[in-house]
Amino acid sequence: MTARPWRLAILGAPALFLLVVFFVLPYGEIVMMSFRTPSSSAPYGDGVTLANYARMFADGHYLGILAETVAVGASITAICLLISFPIALHLSNVGDRWHTLFYACVVSPLLVGVLVRNFGWMIILSFNGPINQILLALGLIDRPVRLLFTVEVVVLALVHVFIPFMVLPITTALRNIPPSLYEASRSLGAGRFATFWRVTLPLSFPGVQSGVILVFVLAISAYVTPVLLGGQFVVLMPTVIVQQLIAAFAWPFGAVLAMILTLSTLTCVLVFAFATRGLARRAAIGRTP
Amino acid sequence: MAQIEIAGLRKAYNGAVAIDGVDLNVASGSFVTLLGPSGCGKTTTLRCLAGFITPDAGAIRVEGRDIMGLGPEGRDFGVVFQNYALFPHLSVFDNVAYGLQARRVPKAEIAARVAEVLGLVQLGHLKDRLPRALSGGQQQRVALARALVIRPQALLLDEPLANLDAKLRFEMRWLIRELQRKAGITALYVTHDQAEAMALSDQVAVMKQGRIAQLGSPRDIYQRPRERYVAEFTGEASYLKARIAEAVGNGRYRVATAGGEVIANGPAGLAAGSRHLLLLRPEALQPGAAGLRATLQGRFFVGSAQHCEMRIGDEVIKLYLPPQAELGEGAAVTLAVDQDAAWLLPDEAAP
Ligand SMILES: Nc1ncnc2c1ncn2[C@@H]1O[C@H](COP(=O)(O)OP(=O)(O)OP(=O)(O)O)[C@@H](O)[C@H]1O
Ligand SMILES: [Mg+2]
């Protein structure tokens, strides 16, 4: 397999090029920027300093926002998982004829552009939008309530669009479980629930793990939805970072916030992967002879 | 340890009939094999019994009690699958303990029973391994242990040895038979390998297109098949057209063939003058003083014997000769027929 390294190099070259130009270089720039002094005439000054980091850690405000961002990301991930597992279970069971249809339903949130989707939410949730009218008509409320610009709505909208990222890996994992394992479990005296608990759930774990990591990373870094549906009532890290960069023109401090967000996300993912590594390794359905 | 009764079992998949009226009685503690070619409905029968699929019609009774209303978890059968179906995320110990945990057996007893059964299959030293770190034969033994440890009413085995190499298959055959005898457990075994079926079973049920063509002891189905299909499926066989000259005893007849008259066994009550097929197993024939007149058409040497084709009139039969026999092609031979290994079958082609 190691016979022709130059071939591999040629195959990998375009990807490597893109990675370097659009990922490694900008990231290097951000890392460097976070150690520079601010400047009013250029993105950053000439001096090298740790003051930006000191300011970040001294100010409880930013750490609070970071904590809230992680908490919101975690809730979105957890809700996504709870909703997606039954969907994946169903999707892994339907026959080939219906499979495509269900599949299309699951990925449908991704078929609508991010702006259109969020303006859709704004229309639905506005003061005289359909939700308020229905609630009024049912007599559940006396006058329209403010639904928009709450953290719940941001969570709802993000859960909606991230569900495919949770459903698809779990479905794949479930489809990889040989049906004879369910039969073996049942014939050994385990009922449906015990079989689900002891066979289905553990063996779907590789899919759950990918889904959780994917959704968490996406949720933490979401920008457009929190801005549009959360307004100034929901302030999360990506919003603050953009404010610092664009509005306050404080590029070095914005870079610090971006660094901290990235490192926090990375830490969360690594802790999660490490804590569940045993389960993931065992559940990986190997090549059985 | 239970007597199992299957009556009129029928199952069609989207209109395609897989089994069509299977009747079978498995005596308590006996080893019964379903033998038949691919697609004849062996697996379907077994899966109906295990409760994995619901038959369209028929009844299944264990010790006289109807079990059709029970799911697989209520039937108390130990199932061994062709692909073993071990839980890949559980160690050997946990795989074997699975059925006991599902039955809420106390922990200490689980440990003792698992250790005992792993000892029986000689896998005690591997109890902490994951299945993927075992060889095929070892996985098979774990599967067997997992099914035995729950002390089920019966063992159901679907081609459990099909994925093993020839030598291992031979060893496992004995292990299965020994464990089944020791536990005195009823076993229903599915295979398309006639040698396996004969070696293991008390009774063999030969299946043909969704039905049981014949149920009998291995000796019965080999020496006294009811139809040509059964004879063909249970071993090497040749046939000669035969007409019954007269009955010479109970179930014994003098028959006329193209090679002369011989004495053969058959079902009782065949009418003189009726046409039949004379089944000749290769080992039933030997060069002798009196018997069938034949010419040697071809032979090949296989080490322990020479496989020969003999021409009798326009029919060809097979026999085995000792390796040292010197016969040229075209030589005229007289073949003595062992009466007990020659058997009369209905001639399905005859009007
Ligand atoms: N799930 C299914 N859907 C449709 N047809 C099926 C299904 N399972 C089996 N059949 C059909 O039913 C018939 C009997 O199948 P079965 O699996 O019982 O055969 P078998 O005797 O076990 O064969 P083999 O020795 O190849 O395992 C076959 O014609 C097969 O094509
Ligand atoms: Mg089969």
Please tell me the distance from the alpha carbon of residue B190 to that of residue B193, in angstroms, as a whole number.
9
Q: Mutation test of the interface with chain A: which of B67, B89, B135, choosing the one with the most A Cβ atoms within 10 A? A: B89
Give residue A285's pLDDT: 63
CA pair distance B230, B278, nearest whole angstrom: 14
Nearest to A233 by CA among A152, A156, A169: A152
How far, in Å, CA of A24 to CA of B153, rounded?
A: 65
Beta carbons of B319 and B281 less than 8 angstroms apart:
no
Q: Using one digit for the tens of pLDDT, what is the confidence trace for B77-109?
A: 999 999 999 999 999 999 999 999 999 999 999
Domains in chain B: ranges and CATH: 4-232 (3.40.50.300), 236-346 (2.40.50.140)
B130 interaction partners in chain A (CB closer than 8 Å)? 282
- The mean pLDDT of A221-248, rounded to a whole number, is 92
Residue A235, token pair as written in the block: 């302030």
pTM: 0.86
CA separation, residue B67 to residues A125, A267, B27, B128, B220 (Å): 56, 55, 17, 36, 31
Could you give the angle at which helices A114-125 and A130-137 cross, rounded to 10 degrees?
30
Query: What's the DSSP call for residue B63?
Result: T
Residues on chain B touching A184 (C-beta within 8 angstroms):
79, 81, 85-87, 146
Is A178 in the B-facing interface, judged by CB distances under 8 Å? yes
Q: Which residues of A touch B150 (CB under 8 A)?
A: 188-189
For residues A178 and A85, what is the distance between their CA atoms, to the nearest angstrom?
A: 18
Choose among B351, B337, B348: nearest CA to B255.
B337
Kindly tell me if the per-residue pLDDT of A289 is higher than 50.
no
Return the closest-CA partner of residue B99 out of B83, B117, B82: B117
pLDDT score recorded for residue B277: 92
Give strand pairing partners of B334.
B293
Average the pLDDT over A36-56 and give the result: 87
Q: Cβ of B85 and A180 within 8 Å?
A: yes
Ligand 1 pocket residue status of B155, Cβ below 6 Å: no
Report the C-alpha gap between B224 and B301 in whole angstroms.
Answer: 29
Decide if A143 touches B, using CB distance below 8 A. no
The residue to which tokens 């993927």 are assigned: B132
Q: Which of A183, A194, A282 is nearest residue B102 as measured by Cβ atoms?
A: A194
What's the mean per-residue pLDDT of chain A? 90
Distance from chain centroid for Cα B171 = 17
How far lies A86's CA from each of A200, B125, B242, in Å? 12, 40, 68
| Cβ pair B50:A183 closer than 8 A | yes
Q: Give me the helices (H) in B83-165, please.
A: 92-102, 107-120, 136-148
Q: Is the pLDDT assigned to residue A253 strictly greater than 90? A: yes
Structure tokens at A48: 């090298």
**Strand B186-191 to B203-208 pairing:** unpaired
Asked if A289 reaches chain B (Cβ–Cβ under 8 Å), the answer is: yes
| Order of strands across the sheet that contains B154-158 | B77-80, B154-158, B186-191, B31-35, B203-208, B211-216
| Chain A partners within 8 Å of B67 (Cβ) | none
The full set of domain ranges for chain A reads 66-287
pLDDT in tens, A106-120: 999 999 999 999 999
Task: Return residues 182-221 of A near B (CB < 8 Å).
Answer: 183-191, 194, 198-199, 202-203
Average pLDDT of the residues in A230-256 = 91
- pLDDT (tens digit per residue) in B110-140: 999 999 999 999 999 999 999 999 999 999 9
Amino acid making up residue A220: I
Chain A nearest CA to B298, separation (Å):
42
pLDDT grade, residue A217 (50/70/90)?
very high
Spacing of C-alpha A83 from chain mean position: 15
Q: Which of residues 112-151 of B touch A (CB under 8 A)?
A: 130-132, 135-136, 139, 146, 150
Lowest-confidence pick of A60-64, A145-149, B68-72, B285-289 = B285-289
Residue B217, amino acid: S
Compare B65 and A281 and report the one with higher pLDDT: B65
Please report, for residues A85, A281, A285, B34, the alpha-carbon distance to residue A198 in angstroms, rounded to integers and kept in the order given: 16, 16, 15, 33
Contacts for B53-56: CB closer than 8 Å, 24+ residues apart: B53/B11, B55/B9, B55/B10, B55/B11, B55/B19, B56/B10, B56/B11, B56/B12
What are the pLDDT tens digits along chain B (351 aa)? 689 999 999 999 999 999 999 999 999 999 999 999 999 999 999 999 999 999 999 999 999 999 999 999 999 999 999 999 999 999 999 999 999 999 999 999 999 999 999 999 999 999 999 999 999 999 999 999 999 999 999 999 999 998 888 888 988 999 999 999 999 999 999 999 999 999 999 999 999 999 999 999 999 999 999 999 999 999 889 999 999 998 888 888 999 999 889 999 999 888 888 899 999 998 888 888 888 888 888 888 888 888 889 999 889 998 888 888 777 788 888 889 888 788 999 877 644
Residue B164, pLDDT score? 87
Question: Alpha-carbon distance A150 to B259, whole Å?
Answer: 100
Tell me the C-alpha distance between B337 and B288, whole Å: 9
Chain A within 8 Å of B72 (Cβ-Cβ)?
yes
pLDDT tier for residue A3 given thresholds of 50, 70 and 90? low
Q: What is the CA radius of gyration of chain B?
A: 24
Strand ranges for A65-146 from DSSP E: none
User: Which CATH architecture does the domain made up of A66-287 adopt?
Assistant: Orthogonal Bundle (1.10)
What is the rounded end-to-end Cα distance, in angstroms, of chain B? Answer: 47
With residue A91 as reference, give the H or E element that holds it: helix A60-93
User: Within a 10 A sphere around the Cβ of B47, how many other Cβ atoms?
Assistant: 21
pLDDT confidence of residue A2 = 52
Question: Residue A287's pLDDT band (boundaries 50, 70, 90)?
Answer: very low
